[in-house]
Each structure stands twice: as C-alpha cells, then as structure tokens.
Structure 1
Amino acid sequence: MATVISAITLSVVLVFLIFNLTPTPAFADLVYEDGYSVTTVFDGNKLHIFPRSVLPQPGSSDLFLLDSTDSTVYALSIPESGEVSLQRLAGNGTAGYSDGDLSSAMFDKPKSFAVDARGNLYVADVKNYAVRKISKSGVTTIAGGFSNKAGKKDGSGKDATFSNDYELVFIPQRCALIVSDIGNNLVRQINLKAEDCSSDSQSALGSTTAWFLGVGISCLIGLIIGFVLRPYVIPHTGRQQTSLVQQDMEALPNESGETSSDALLRAQKRSC
C-alpha cells in the first residue's frame, strides 16, 4: 500500500514539475503595430500549383511565380478587380534538363529565381547544378550544368560549378546576379550582359527624350535666325526690303511736321 502511495505521490510531483518548469512564450515582449492586413490573392491548391517563390514583374504589379514541385515558372496577373489569371512561361511539369523552346524546356526542382531590368528570369536549377535564363526567345544555360556535379569552381559560365543548395538575386547596380551558394558557404557573382541591365522602356524613353530635345533646339535656332535675317530678306524685285519698323519710322512726322520723305525731297532741291 505504501508503495502505491509513493508511486502516486511521485507522479503528482513529476506532473507539477513539468507544468511549472516548461518555459512559456514571452508574449509580453511582442509589440503589434496596427494598420496592416493579410489577404490571399492566389490559392494554388485549387490548381495543384505549389508556389515556392514569387517576384514582381518589372514595371508592373503582376508577379512571376516559381513552382519548385512541378519545375514550372508562371506569370501571375492579379488585377484590382476581376479574376486572377495564370500563364505558364516555361517548364512542362516534368523534371529534367532541357534548354530551347519555352514549351519544351525542363527544370529539376528549382529553388530560387531572379528577374533583371528587362524581365528576363534566371532560375537556380539546383538539381542540375545550373543557372538557367528564361527570355522571350527561349531557355538557355548561362552558368554551371556542364559538369553535372556539385562543386565550387569559378571561371567561365561553362566551367563554373555550384553546390546543390543556392539562391539568386539580381543587383542592377553591379549588372550581376549574386549567388548565395549555401552549400559551399560562399557568396558568388555572375556578371551579366549590359543589355540585361537596362529595360526597353527606359531606353525608349531616353531615345524619345533626346529626339524631342534635338527638335526643340533646332526649332529655337531656326526662330532666332529667322528674326535676325528677316529685315534683310531680298524680294524678287532685287531691292533690299526694309523692315516694318524702319517703314513706320519713315512714315512718322518729325518735330517740324515733316515726314522723312519731305525732308529728303527738300534736301534734293537745295542741292540742285
């Protein structure tokens, strides 16, 4: 009997210690800031799409969506009013390694992607140890992938190797992709082409601005030259045309009441 009572007492003590020694969340340290809300704008469960990462499309409120599970990249349009629309950009839902047309290209469980100023996408295709580029013309490999094995070799894109865990981010100020090579504990850089670091819209705006500026300066110079040369335009009669101001001055009488023409006639008579 004493043994049973001791066992019960020990159990009660253990329960008391468990509940009293377990740390409780420090809610007193939390500071909530009002004015924010959360809204679901896309539910992948309805379409069997599994968002791994999203990025903004340059110059738009729309998004790029990376589905790592099905190795597919989508363009996601989220209007303020109306239904959300989804368009597959590259990948066909089958894991593999194939460049070329957007419709036939394949990836293998990519984990991260980045977008440059022109809207080109760069995919961290980690299981293929490659960095892939998605553009309007198709899918290409720009770094890694050739050796088909993990590594940390720098050099040309074809010779470079990566670990099986890395992420990408586009840095426009460096015109480069920065690679967080997690598996190798390295931060690495992929230099891009200059054309990838300036958007078409910005270039077009610059050209249009320059064109309008040139036209404006030309017109201003033309107006200045026109005003300067106007009094000296020679008509078809071969005589120099006097300016309107000069004609008006000749028509005005002087203090004696004579016009310039009368004074000239009187001077001619005196000389005769």
Structure 2
Amino acid sequence: MVASLGGYRALAQGTPPSNVQATAATLAAPAQIAYDAAGNLYIADLNDNIIRKVDLAGIVTTVAGTGEQGFSGDGGAATSAQLDSPAGVAVDAAGNIYIADTHNQRIRKVSGGTITTIAGTGTAGFSGDSGAATSAMLSNPSALAVDSSGNLYIADTDNHRIRKIAGTTITTVAGNGEQGFFGDGGAATSAAIDSPNGVAVDASGNLYIGDTHNQRIRKVSGGTITTIAGNGTKTFSGDNGPAASATLARPRGLSIDAQGNIYVADSDNNRIRLIAGTNIKTVAGNGSQGFAGDGGPAVNAILDTPRAPAALSPTAFALSDTNNQLVRAVGPDGVIHTIAGENTGIAGGQGFSETLILSGASSDPFGSGSLTATFSNAGLTATGQVSLLDISNGSTSVASASLSGNVATISTATLSPGMHSLVASYSGDAFNPAITSSVFVLTVIPPPITDFTLTASGATTQSVNPGQTATFNFALQPQGGVLNTSISVTASGLPPGATAVLTPTTIASGSGATSLTLSIKTAPLKAANTPPPSPLRTPLLPMTAAVFLLPLLRNKRLRARFTSMPRTLLGILFVLLAGAATIGLTGCGSGGFFAQDPQSYTVTVTATATSAANATLQHTTTVTLVVQ
C-alpha cells in the first residue's frame, strides 16, 4: 500500500530491502547525501525513515532506522531505532555518522553501530545557545556538515539559523532568528536568513549556507557574512558569468570539493550548479523537470527537484534526484548514471512498478522510421499521449502519438541526419502517474545526394575585344527529376581584370532542371598598351620627308621643276609627301602598334551539392573565352 508524505511517494508500512544492488533498491525522497573518506555513500532516505549506505561494490544497506516513523532506540543498535523523516546526513573523518532527524527535532549520532542523541530535546523551538546541545531546542533541522576539527554545523531551518556543536556545546554562527534578508558585510549572527536548507564548510573553515527562500548562497568568513551567488530573484540565469549576478530557485544542499569548488542543488531549476572562483555554471540538468539522460552528458539530463550534491573529487560528484527517487552520479567524463534507486523508467516511490520503455531500430534512413513506447503499470491500461523528446541539446519535441493497448508508435521522420538522444514522456491519466523513459540513442542516416549533370548549352567558345562582354549558357539537370539538396555554383579561370555575373549562384533543394547564365565582362586596354609616339610628330617629320624625297631629288628634270615652283607651294608639297610616307610606314608590319595577340582563357563552372550531413557531390564544365 502506498501513501503520500510531504509530496513524495512512500511505503505506508514495511521495511525497504537491504543488502541488494543499489540500482535495484527503491528510495523515497532521498535528501542529503554524503561520502565518507573511503568513498562509501550515505543517503538520508527521508520518506523511508532510514539512513542507507552504498558501498564501493554498489551494495546498499541500512545503517540507521527500521523504516517505521517515530522516535526510539537511543543507546541501542542504530538499525533498531526509529527515525522521523531524516533530511540530513554527514560523516566525520573517524566514520561517525550524523543524522538530522528532522521531525524528531534532534541530531543523532551513530558510532560503532550505536545511536544516540547529541542535540535537541524533541520539541520544536529555539533555545540553549552556549549550553549543552542536548538541552537545546531545534526546529526542523535539515542539513549537516562536519569540519576538519570535528565540529558539526546544523541548518536549523525553521529557526532561520546555522548552529554549531563544538564538543557538547551549541552556539549560533549565522542568523539572528528573524526570517528575511539583510546583514551582508556585517556580523553573521546579526544577519537575517530565510529557511536555510544547506550548509557546508571548506578546508579553511569558511562556512557556506544555502539560504533557500532568499534564493542565495551566503558565505561566513571570519564571522562576516556575504552573498556569493544569487541576487534574490527566483528564476534561472547567469550561467558562465559572475555567480553574484546569477539567479537561483530554492537552492538547497551544498557540497565543497578539495579545490574549494562549491556544488549547489538549484532545486526548482532542476539543476546542479558549480561555483568556481566567482563564476557559476550548470554541471547537471538541462532545466526540464522529469527523468532522462542516463548514459549521456549530465548537462543534457533531466532531473526532478534535486535536493543535495556530494563531491567525491574535483571531477566527480553525486546528487540526490529527489522526486525521481534516485541518486545519480557524474564522473570525470561528464556522463551521468544512476547509482541508487531503480532507473529503468520507474516513476519513483516505494511500491510503484510503472515503466515506460522506448525501443526500435538503432538507426533509420532520413525521412522514415519510428520508435515504440511501451507502458506498463501493474496491469492497468493507460490513456493519453506519449511525446518523443530530443534531449541532445536542450529538450525539443519531435512528435507524439496516442497510447493504444499501452503502446504508442511515434514517428522519427522529422529528425535531421545525425545522432539523437531521445526519451519518451507520458503525462499520466487518472490512474497512472506521469513518467519519462530512459534515453534511447537513434542515428538518422542521411540520404544519398541526388546526382545531376552540368553542361554548357549553346556556344562553348566566344571571342570578344577588350572591354566587351561574353555570355555563356548552361543547363543543370537532376537525375530523377528534382534535387534533394541545395547546390552552389561558382566560376573560376577568368581573364585578368574581368568580372563575372553568374545567375543563379544557388539552386534550392527540390528544384528541377535549371538554366544558368554566366556573363563575363573583360577589362579594357590599359595605358601600358597605347602605341609609341607617331612619326608624324614634329621631331621625326624632317627626317621622314628627307628619306622619302631623296630619290626624287636625283632626277634632274624634277629638280628643275621644284626650283621653278613658288616657295609656298613647294612647302605644302613637302608636307603632303612626308605625311604620305609616314602613313605608309605606319601601315607596315604585322598588327602595328595598336594590335595585341589574341589570348585564350578556359573558364570553369563548378556546381557543388552539400547534404545535411556535410557530404558533397561536385560537377564541373568548361567554356573558352578568347580576348582579341
């Protein structure tokens, strides 16, 4: 029989199994978690009213609590004692286990298997500072931390304080008991904090507080309190920037690694965030609420209200994925896995057997294929829709389908070529809770590129003078009628100084036969190609005339006639004869000074098709341009 406690599913009666593989065990609202020096993991299994241990072999055992809600057992075996909704756990260097026995308003200690109360009277309230911790009153203590000297720090949540037990004496080290926010830059004991749910201490003795309802992380150093993350607004922002400018949403548990990096359970943002130096980033969770992502990058995984992290090393940590009833871990490779609690799509909570399994071929051609989502829950028939989500980068809806006989077949035809991390998500109905499947990896195979031909149509050789334009025509013909990718077209091999206009330069996917034109405007003659000075110019004119007239002057009859001519007429005749001679000389030779040798250029037109997977197919054709 299943009951609900504090919004979480839990067994109404019975003891959870022990001495089984941790991933086969069931948890109920796992809260704070902690590693000991040997690497064993301790879990405050809140709604099961027990403290559990996962050893290095992955075997889970109960180390405190019977599973029955209540208070009993001090001075006896911890596994025979009763706890009430334990939310916090910590382990010191000697292996002693400390428990925030939340609804019993006590802090209890397990040493050598025996349990005792070390703080709290069992009555909710505030009293006892500077006196014996066992005579002090607490109010819903929810998180613990132990420093290197063995001092114990308590998030005394409903007293809005952080308290410290040194030896057997209790004191307040942060918070004045007033619910609110003020005091940054002043004495920590004069500051106001609001419902702290997280506490941690670093190797230097600095204290860190998950100031939950103030949406902040605060630090106490040398007795002075400051805010190091969060600006008081309950939302999500600021990744990869200054932590003090970022926003958080109900930050709860904290953990610090050996390098001083601070892990934060940003609970209502469904993320684990890391404060390194003064900057903040997400290290687990994509912000969506639900379950997905095991076996993939932690930053793409889906979490549900994580309550606490636990740093194992500077590159590995665990987290209590509270509403998924799991403990998950992230290794140095950034990949997330479930290490405690069932992770095969189980909705969570003791006594439930609801599953949602996504199955199908691991690869499909682009534009086709489907996956099958199969639901089961103790023989019940589910109704409604199952959605397929792509969590490869964020969370994107792919398609959905209705359940029929607890099976939904969902199309994957719209997925782009490449690898996709997919989950199925069911929203639930009146008899079946919502559930998300484990990740299914699907590879979409890109289609082959449609082949095509590229040919010149019309004249393939043209001759123009410098400065003139030649236009060539081409035809691109897809095989099978239409293209399945876009094609880009370019031209190369132009004459020096020439410009080209190619129309079109891009042919869209889905196009059929396409005509193209290439207009090439050649460069005009440059000044360097102008002819040399003409012989008609003044310095050469007398010499030209002399060369031409010299044979004539040897004729006595002509010489006599020239002598009898008037001087003016003789001068005119001289100029005309010299000009004629110059023109004749200019016309001699091959091409003269203005001519240039014809130049031939091979112009290449290239058409390149590129698929969505970046595969390419290329064809070329050439034409000849002669510049005369």
Letter of the structure 1 residue corresponding to residue 264 of structure 2 = V
Asked if residue 128 in structure 1 is aligned to residue 205 in structure 2, the reply is no
Given that 1:57 and 1:119 are in contact with CA atoms closer than 8 Å, whether structure 2 keeps it comes out as yes
Which residue number corresponds to residue 186 of structure 1?
Answer: 271
Paired residue type of 2:170: L
Which residue of 1 is the match for residue 143 of structure 2?
53
* Residues 146-184 of structure 1: CA deviation (Å, up to 9, x unaligned): x533224322122211112432110114x3101122222
Give the CA deviation at 1:107: 0.4
* Percent identity between the two aligned chains: 30
Q: Residues 182-204 of structure 1, C-alpha deviation per residue, up to 9 Å, x if partnerless?
A: 222212110137xxxxxxxxxxx
Distance 1:74 1:134 in 2: 12
Aligned to 1:76: 165
- 2:250 matched to which residue of 1? 164
2:589 corresponds in structure 1 to none
Count of matched residue positions in the alignment of Structure 1 and Structure 2: 162
What CA distance in whole angstroms lies between the structure 1 residues aligned with 2:253 and 2:144? Answer: 13
Q: What is residue 85 of structure 1 aligned with on the other side?
A: 169
Mapped contact 2:152–2:164 kept (Cα < 8 A): yes
Gaps of 5+ in 1: 1-22, 79-83, 194-272
One-letter amino acid matched to 2:147: Q
1:26–1:140 CA distance, 2 compared to 1 (3 A) = closer
Deviation at 1:38, TM superposition (A): 1.0
Alpha-carbon distance between aligned partners in 2 of 1:119 and 1:24, rounded to the nearest angstrom: 42
CA distance in 2, matches of 1:148, 1:180: 16
CA distance in 2, matches of 1:180, 1:126: 10
Matched residue of 2:234: which SS?
Answer: coil
More helix by share: 1
Contact 2:216 2:251 in 1 (8 A): no
2:119 counterpart (42, 65, 83):
42
How far apart are the structure 2 equivalents of 1:109 and 1:168? 14
Is the contact made by 1:72 and 1:88 (CA closer than 8 Å) also made in structure 2?
A: yes
Q: CA deviation at 1:97?
A: 0.9
Q: Which runs of 4+ in 1 moved over 3 A?
A: 23-27, 29-35
Q: Which is strand-richer, 1 or 2?
A: 2
Distance 1:42 1:92, change over 3 A: same
Contact 2:180 2:192 in 1 (8 A): yes
CA deviation profile, 1:123-156 (whole Å, cap 9, x unmatched): 11121111100111400001112x5332243221
Of residues 162-171 and 63-72 in structure 1, the stretch that sits farther from structure 2 once superposed is: 162-171
Q: 1:37 to 1:141 in 2, by over 3 A?
A: same
Aligned-partner Cα distance in 2 for 1:90–1:166: 16
CA distance in 2, matches of 1:180, 1:108: 16
**Partners of 1:101 and 1:95 in 2: how far apart?**
16
Residues 30 and 118 of structure 1, relative CA distance in 2, 3 Å threshold: closer
CA contact (8 A) 2:155 2:199 kept: yes
Letter in 2 for 1:56: V
Partner residue of 1:227?
A: none
- The alignment yields a C-alpha RMSD, in angstroms, of 2.6
Paired residues of 2:235 and 2:247 also in contact (CA < 8 A): yes
Classify the secondary structure of the residue corresponding to 2:213: helix
Per the normalisation by structure 2, the TM-score is 0.24
1:105 and 2:191 aligned: yes
CA distance in 2, matches of 1:24, 1:71: 33
Amino acid at match of 2:161: T
Structure 2 unaligned regions, length at least 5: 1-11, 20-61, 64-76, 78-111, 124-134, 279-628
